[in-house]
A and B are shown apart, each in its own frame.
Chain A
Amino acid sequence: MSILVIAEHDNAELKGATLNTVAAAKAIGGDVHVLVAGAGCGPVGEAAAKIDGASKVLVADNAAYEHQLAENVAKLVADLGKDYSHILAPATTTGKNMLPRAAALLDVQPISDIIGVEGADTFKRPIYAGNVIATVQSSDAIKVITVRTTAFDAVAAEGGSAAVESVSIADDAGISTFVGEELAVSDRPELTAARVVISGGRGMQNGENFEMLYKLADKLGAAVGASRAAVDAGFVPNDMQVGQTGKIVAPDLYIAVGISGAIQHLAGMKDSKVIVAINKDEEAPIFSVADYGLVADLFDAIPELETKL
């Protein structure tokens, strides 16, 4: 039984989500191969070879894979994937975009966002915004799976010595092209990997007030997130959104500031180890999941919290 893990990367760096996905592959059990598809992605291939638990790294280095367009990469994954029992990718936007396409090419029903491995064909996954956990069993010959990275502890990035093999397949479907991207720049840790996350909601009132959260975050080495209300109101960019339709986080400490705690937001953060809620409405649903709740005006509490740390 061999498992193919699709690496998450930006052609220069291997992303942490890959390590959590390899952890899920190890939980299934079997030989773990890692596929790095990109252009000029040699350094990523070398980094992947050091992952603890990877026995082989396949590198598909071609201009067609530079921006990991689903139309091109899914074809590659389906071609290579025929020889594997499982194909896994992290449930990032890249993985979610590409993997179902590869699954359909293989005529397989994929399983999204698994949070637990019960057996080689049986997995746990949340449905209904995390309000229900389903245990599902696949009857397909190849299991195609995306992995919720916060549910699996990352394997070590060092210590492995996998053989690197280059893949000669290079198909450009010719139906899609990359035009450009606008990436948010931040010195703070990445939201999905941060140990501490501070999120602001509608209660922040405007974008400028998020400065308070940034200052507090810098003191704690935290990442800053937001509720959908804060994103829709234009306070912050949408890649900061935590929730069912945004990012799923599970940090050691999650501080929700001015967030009421709608079902959709809770879906993105309720597996955090410790949750703190700061809200002036003591009836806010967020208090029902918070370990520590402070009923106070955030404009008094946040500056005070910052000085006391």
Chain B
Amino acid sequence: MKVLVAVKRVVDYNVKVRPKADGSDVDTANVKMSINPFCEIAVEEAVRLKEKGVVSEIVAVSMGPKQCQEQIRTALALGADRGILVETDADLQPLAVAKCLKAIVDKEEPQLVIMGKQSIDGDNNQTGQMLGALTGLGQGTFASEVTVEGESVKVTREVDGGLQTVELKLPAIVTTDLRLNEPRYASLPNIMKAKKKPLDTTNPEELGVDITPRTKTLKVEPPAERQAGVKVADVAELVEKLKNEAKVI
């Protein structure tokens, strides 16, 4: 079966971003960019399913500016077979991304769509669920285990009280949690091979998708700074401070 994996280009998770001085946006100039960690887990899961013989083809898709090619190439180096870039410089919100993905799902007809549960820049945690609604497919969100069994997929989900398992009819959508797997590193030969793998480019207009933003960011600002604290010498002083100064115990 065919799997579609969606990957996003984001500011590397180790970078501490700051708002621009005018508060219009986050300063991402000259900042290291990477594949979103949850998306990397999605690629890894697809590759493992291929290694198990469950999956025959993995298509990696990304949308955004031209540079998103780098993240598609990363997915190809990790084991995806071919890539699709939906190129646009516009501000893409999850609804627009879900609509573009819906158009690609309609065309490619994958049996499974695997994507991250959230991107670490927008922290929205929406796109997979919205794609589920638009395609009418079942959703296994926050997955920590995925088992394909015949015409269905069993997904163990991380929920607030612990774990929950659901069974979805294929085709279905899965969003990955951090514990689903440990992504591999791309080897140099695989990075070289990935350069020769096919990468098609399209755009939202070609897909017939209206990507007009529905929300506007009025401003961005740093969160309230915490007051610098004090170091205490020992446990006795800590208890004394918590009791008499902070009055929390």
B160 surroundings in chain A (CB, below 8 A): 92-94, 192, 239, 247
Residues of A within 8 A of B178 (CB): 228, 232, 245
A293-B232 contact, Cβ under 8 Å, with A108-B95, A132-B19: yes
- A114-135 with Cβ < 8 A to chain B: 122, 126-135
* Known interface pairs A104-B133, A292-B229, A292-B238; A176-B120 also in contact (CB < 8 Å): no
User: In the complex, are the beta carbons of A71 and B19 less than 8 A apart?
Assistant: no
Instruction: List chain B residues, Cβ under 8 A from A139.
Output: 214-216
Cβ A238 vs Cβ B144 within 8 A: yes
Measured as residues with beta carbon below 8 angstroms from the partner, the interface class of chain B is: 35 or more
A294 near B158: Cβ-Cβ < 8 Å: no
Determine which of B123, B157, B213 lies in contact with A113 in the assembled complex, contact meaning CB atoms within 8 Å: B123
Q: How far is the CB of B62 from chain A (nearest CB, A)?
A: 20
Q: Check B220–A132 contact: CB distance below 8 A.
A: yes
B94 contacts chain A at the CB level, 8 A cutoff: yes
Mostly helix, strand, loop or mixed at chain B's interface? Answer: mixed
- Distance between Cα atoms of A132 and B120 in the complex (Å): 12
Q: Are A176 and B138 in contact (CB under 8 A)?
A: yes
CB of A129 within 8 A of CB of B120, answer: yes
Does B53 count as interface, using CB distance less than 8 angstroms? no
Contacts of A130 in B (CB 8 A): 223
A-B pair number, CB within 8 angstroms: 256
Given the known interface contacts A137-B218, A253-B246, the answer about A112 and B163 at a Cβ–Cβ threshold of 8 Å is: no
By DSSP majority rule, is chain A's interface helix, strand, loop, or mixed?
mixed
Given that A104-B134, A105-B133, A305-B238 are contacting pairs, would A134 and B166 also be in contact in the complex, using a CB cutoff of 8 Å? Answer: no
Question: A97, B139: Cβ atoms under 8 Å?
Answer: yes
Q: Restricting to B44-102, which residues have a CB under 8 Å from any CB of A?
A: 93-95, 98
Contact B249 A244 (CB under 8 A): no
A135 with B242, Cβ < 8 A, contacts A181-B164, A294-B235 known: no
B239 within 8 A of partner (CB): yes
A102 — which chain B residues lie within 8 A by C-beta?
Answer: 133
A 177-196 to B, binary, CB cutoff 8 A, 1 in contact else 0 = 11111111000000010001
Q: In which size bucket is the chain A interface?
A: 35 or more
Asked whether, in the complex, the Cβ of B179 is within 8 Å of the Cβ of A238, the reply is yes
Considering the chains assembled together, what is the distance between the CA atoms of A138 and B215 in angstroms?
Answer: 4
Distance in Å: Cβ of A218 to nearest Cβ of chain B: 14
Is B167 part of the contact surface with A, judged by Cβ < 8 Å?
yes
With contacts A112-B126, A139-B215 taken as known, whether A71 is within 8 angstroms of B132 at the C-beta atoms is yes
Q: Smallest CB–CB gap between A95 and chain B, Å?
A: 10
- Report the minimal beta-carbon distance from B61 to chain A, rounded to whole angstroms: 18
Cβ contact within 8 Å between B167 and A136: no
Say yes or no: A132 contacts B17, CB within 8 Å: yes
Contact of A308 among B127, B165, B179, B236 (CB under 8 A): B236
A174 to B169, CA, bound (A): 9
Q: Which residues of B contact A140 (CB under 8 A)?
A: 214-215
Provide the B150-173 mask, 1 if CB < 8 A to any CB of A, else 0.
000010011111111111110010
A180→B218 contact, CB < 8 A: no
A287 to B18, CA, bound (A): 21
Choose from B26, B161, B229 the contact partner of A128 (Cβ within 8 Å): B26
Q: A133-B221, A196-B248 are in contact. List 17 more A-B contacts (CB 8 A).
A: A92-B160, A93-B157, A97-B129, A100-B129, A104-B95, A135-B221, A232-B179, A238-B158, A238-B179, A239-B158, A244-B120, A245-B178, A253-B246, A253-B248, A273-B248, A295-B231, A308-B236
Residues of B within 8 A of A (CB): 11, 13-14, 16-19, 26, 93-95, 98, 117-118, 120-127, 129-134, 136-139, 141-142, 144, 154, 157-169, 172, 177-179, 213-223, 226-232, 234-236, 238-239, 241-242, 246, 248-249
Q: List 30 A-B contacts (CB under 8 A).
A: A74-B129, A74-B133, A94-B160, A96-B141, A97-B141, A104-B134, A109-B95, A128-B123, A133-B221, A137-B215, A139-B214, A175-B136, A176-B138, A177-B167, A178-B165, A179-B167, A181-B163, A181-B164, A181-B165, A184-B161, A232-B179, A238-B144, A253-B248, A253-B249, A263-B13, A263-B16, A292-B232, A293-B231, A305-B239, A309-B249
